[in-house]
């Protein structure tokens, strides 16, 4: 085959592909837009989270605040998956 003939065949295949893609796109029906699902319940207010924010705002003074120390201990226990009673028994040992 000559290079010219091969180029023509390639161009014909490309045009056929472009026409097919265009026809498919034009005949496709648009899906109706779905509404975002409403949350099943309002997020609950976590008092621990509010205390963490308060301690954060205290800055360096939070190190000397007994409430902040207790908040950090509870946060650590939650993160580690320990029950508060487990942590209290470990502190007593």
Residue pLDDT, tens place only, 25-52: 999 887 777 776 666 665 667 888 889 9
**Residue 40 DSSP label:** S
Q: What is the residue extent of each domain of the chain?
A: 1-30, 47-92
Contact status, residue 51 vs residue 73, Cβ threshold 8 Å: no
The residue among 63 and 44 whose pLDDT is bigger is 63
The pLDDT score that the predictor gives to residue 39 is: 62
pTM: 0.43
62: burial class by Cβ within 10 Å (0-12, 13-18, 19+)?
middle
- As a whole number of angstroms, the distance between CA 50 and CA 10 comes to 67
Ramachandran angles phi, psi of 48, nearest 5°: -65, -40
């Amino acid at each position: 085959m000559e290079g010219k003939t091969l180029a023509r065949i390639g161009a014909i295949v490309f045009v056929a592909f472009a026409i097919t893609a265009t026809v498919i796109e034009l005949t496709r029906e648009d899906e109706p837009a779905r509404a975002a699902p409403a949350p099943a319940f309002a997020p609950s207010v976590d008092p621990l989270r509010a205390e963490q924010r308060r301690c954060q705002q205290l800055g360096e003074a939070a190190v000397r605040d007994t409430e902040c120390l207790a908040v950090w201990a509870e946060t650590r226990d939650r993160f580690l998956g320990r029950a508060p009673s487990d942590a209290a028994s470990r502190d007593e040992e």
